[in-house]
Amino acid sequence: MKIIILIPVFNDFKSASKLIEEININISELKVEISVIVVNDASTEETILDSKNLNNIKSLKLINMRNNKGHARCIATGLKHILENEDFDYVIPMDGDGEDRPEEIINFVEKIKDNPKKSIVGERVKRSEGLIFKICYILHKIITYTFTGKFIKFGNFTCLTKETVKKLIEEKATWSSFSGSLAKTENNLIKSPSIRGSRYFGPSKMSFINLIKHSLAIIAVFKSGVIFRSIAFYAIYLIIIADYISIITAIPLALIIIFGLVILKISGRENMNEFNNSLTNIHNIEKVK
């Protein structure tokens, strides 16, 4: 069994080195072949990976991007590179800051044995962020379910079969939202409990604005359903307030229209032409180990 761990990184190579060290420790008892590929999203800071004492990791490669494209597009580019250039059975994308816990890779491998043809998602059962972030995350899940019918409780930390990787490469939504695209392309995902870990170094780089963009990008993957449900909500609400129309009661109608327009705008990020040409953004590939 050959597994490739895919780690997108931007200006956080200290954490990435720590993560790779922890991965090496945690996979010591696994009877599988594990390699690591780090995608450097055109970092402006030091990009050195510590490759010492990685006896349990078969290989470590660093893909250096020419231009910064963002987290989701780094994963998309990495998946495309792996599918076209690497020998693998499964891919495990994970964040490089420690919030995706390396000890849970063992759980993925155990579930692979029972479900070799199905992809696995790390379903969040506990988070480590502050109260405000947790409240915003709950609202995100409620709004996503309301407008898409999808209850998405996972992020990047997953274990993908080769068939799933192929599906993601053929789906333009992958260029905008990894988790949204995975929820769209695979209906029978295996769930593995996952606890959100704490960052190894420094504060989280996920600002409130970026959290909103991330949430909207997931919803935009299902834009057809969003538009249909928005129209239905609009019509039902209009019937309810027909005898009580005022500036105040009309506010929700305006919000529904604005929400729909924003979703359509964000869905424009799903550019298949850019996705197909994403490997041209690779400056070079360093074989670290």
Nearest-angstrom CA–CA distance, 78 and 196:
23
- Going from the C-alpha of 136 to that of each of 46, 99, 114, 121, the distances in angstroms are 33, 18, 35, 21
Count of residues in the chain: 289
- Does residue 220 have a pLDDT over 90? yes
Residue among 104, 143, 142 nearest 124 (CA): 104
Nearest-angstrom CA–CA distance, 55 and 44:
30
The answer on 71 and 193 residing in a single domain is yes
Q: What is the CATH number of the domain that holds 35?
A: 3.90.550.10
- Higher per-residue confidence, 126 vs 87: 87
Nearest-angstrom CA–CA distance, 46 and 36:
19
Report pLDDT for 85. 97
* Domain membership flag for residue 210: no
* Domain membership flag for residue 78: yes
* Domain membership flag for residue 217: no
Report pLDDT for 208. 66
Average pLDDT over residues 261-276: 94
- Please state the φ and ψ torsions of residue 230, each to the nearest 5 degrees: -65, -45
Q: How many domains does the chain have?
A: 2
Nearest-angstrom CA–CA distance, 90 and 70:
23
Report pLDDT for 136. 74
- For residue 147, name the pLDDT band (cuts at 50, 70, 90): confident
- Does residue 128 have a pLDDT over 80? no
The answer on 111 and 58 residing in a single domain is yes
Domain that holds residue 160: 2-205+271-287
Residue among 102, 96, 128, 98 nearest 11 (CA): 96
Report pLDDT for 207. 63
The answer on 259 and 125 residing in a single domain is no
* Domain membership flag for residue 213: no
Q: Give the burial class of 197: count Cβ atoms within 10 A of its Cβ; 0-12 exposed, 13-18 middle, 19 or more buried.
A: buried
Report pLDDT for 228. 92
User: Across-strand partners of 61?
Assistant: 37, 287
Percent of the chain predicted with pLDDT > 70: 96
* Domain membership flag for residue 211: no
CB hemisphere CA count around 287 (13 angstroms): 3
The answer on 245 and 191 residing in a single domain is no
Average pLDDT over residues 145-151: 85
- Structural tokens at position 175: 């260029």
The answer on 199 and 232 residing in a single domain is no
Report pLDDT for 201. 87
Q: What pTM did the predictor assign? A: 0.91
Nearest-angstrom CA–CA distance, 166 and 156:
17
The answer on 137 and 153 residing in a single domain is yes
DSSP state of 2: E
- Going from the C-alpha of 157 to that of each of 26, 112, 194, 265, the distances in angstroms are 16, 15, 9, 27
Nearest-angstrom CA–CA distance, 263 and 249:
23
The answer on 230 and 276 residing in a single domain is no
- For residue 112, name the pLDDT band (cuts at 50, 70, 90): very high
Nearest-angstrom CA–CA distance, 268 and 6:
26
Tens-place pLDDT, residues 172-185: 999 999 999 999 99
DSSP state of 242: G
- Going from the C-alpha of 195 to that of each of 35, 65, 101, 264, 277, the distances in angstroms are 23, 30, 7, 33, 35
* Domain membership flag for residue 21: yes
The answer on 233 and 151 residing in a single domain is no
The answer on 177 and 258 residing in a single domain is no
Tens-place pLDDT, residues 12-60: 999 999 999 999 999 999 999 999 999 999 999 988 888 788 999 999 9
Nearest-angstrom CA–CA distance, 154 and 123:
5
